[in-house]
Amino acid sequence: MNTWIFQGNPRFFDVDTYIKNHKYIWWSLRQEHFLDKIELDDEVFLWRSDGNNRGTGGILAKAKVISLPVERTNDETAQNYWYTDEWKNPYLAVELEVLQVKWEGGFINRLSLLEHPVLKDLLILRQRTQTNYLLSQRHAITLQKLWNNSHDIIKSKVSVESDMKNLISDDITETEREQVIKSRIGQSAFKKGLLAIENKCRLCGVTNEQFLVASHIKPWNEANHQERLDIDNGLLLCPNHDALFDKGYISFDTDGKIIISDYLDEGTRIFLNINENMNIEMNEGQQEYMKWHKEYLLIN
């Protein structure tokens, strides 16, 4: 399976409305040397370019390929989306099924990709005028991870209050709801549970409770209700080590040995107190969560 980025320019075409109104859409294949590369079920990230608004471009949807490239001519409904007469011309296109759209929360802005240790090398950031970009496997895996986790930033801004409102409508039992609310308020129940079994950062000597973070191994947003409350899904860490773990710059093998991302430079390793000899002990439950962390969050 291939992973692609397909780009659309809002100066010529109303990309947002097209994606908003249709689950099944057509996208041009302009880089014709890809004709034989496109396969059914290929993954496609849809990129709306800056157009006339600098700094607004980026990835807003994920789709999959459901037809091989065909020569087609638009019907007149396409006219609504075009600002030019180009819709009248026959063109080579593939049909896509839109799987997920992230309008604001989770939209991956081009500017944030320029700072990303791996994805800053994406071809679309340097050669900005193509329509179709085929991603290397490394870029594909990294972008998938980023997309899967890209609601985190928004989510973390959501207040405890509105989280609790959401809980009222969630389909969970009364007991679960109570537990979730308890653990959500300042993470107190979760943190207390962890403090009962460990009393310092897993990786260094910080013991002051005020500076210990009850970090979820499988992040809150990815976890189900049971996993959110499960003490095995927690790791007590100091703020530095929590930040590295949370952002995927470190993870752990099943035997507890630390894995440090190649993208963490030597200086940062030293200043944030990380080295290859570190390891932690984990029970079976923690190992399971850690497998998830290593696979989906580690930047490699």
Question: Contact residues for Zn ion (CB under 5 A)?
Answer: 201, 203-204, 238, 241
Q: How far is the CB of 238 from Zn ion (least distance, A)?
A: 3
CB of 291 to Zn ion, least distance (A): 22
Distance of CA 212 to the CA centre of its chain: 26
Residue at token pair 């409770």: 209
In this structure, the number of other CB atoms found within 10 A of the CB of residue 137 comes to: 9
Minimum Å gap between C-beta 223 and Zn ion is: 23
Please report how close the Cβ of residue 204 comes to Zn ion at its closest, in angstroms.
3
Q: Which is nearer to Zn ion, 98 or 201 (CB)?
A: 201
**Using CA atoms, how far apart are residues 230 and 259, in angstroms rounded to an integer?**
24
Q: Which residue has the tokens 């959401």?
A: 166
Give DSSP secondary structure letters for 250-296.
EEE-TTSBEEE-TTS-HHHHHHTT--TT-B----HHHHHHHHHHHHH
N residues, the chain: 300
- Nearer Cβ to Zn ion (93/272): 272
CB of 273 vs Zn ion, minimal distance in Å: 7
* Closer residue to Zn ion, CB minimum distance, 63 or 201: 201
Nearer to Zn ion, 145 or 202 (CB): 202
Between 46 and 258, whose beta carbon lies closer to Zn ion? Answer: 258
**Residue among 44 and 206 whose Cβ is closer to Zn ion:** 206
- Here the tokens at position 15 are 């990309």
- The residue type found at 116 is H
CA separation for the pair 39, 233 (Å, rounded):
38
Q: Is 245 left (phi over 0), alpha (psi -120 to 50) or beta?
A: alpha
Q: Where are the alpha helices (DSSP H) in the chain?
A: 15-21, 110-114, 123-126, 137-148, 152-157, 160-169, 174-184, 188-197, 225-229, 239-246, 266-271, 284-296
Characterize the bridge pairing of strands 91-101 and 58-65.
antiparallel
The least distance separating Zn ion from the CB of residue 237, rounded to whole angstroms, comes to: 6
Q: Which is nearer to Zn ion, 89 or 210 (CB)?
A: 210
Nearest distance from C-beta of residue 197 to Zn ion, angstroms: 17
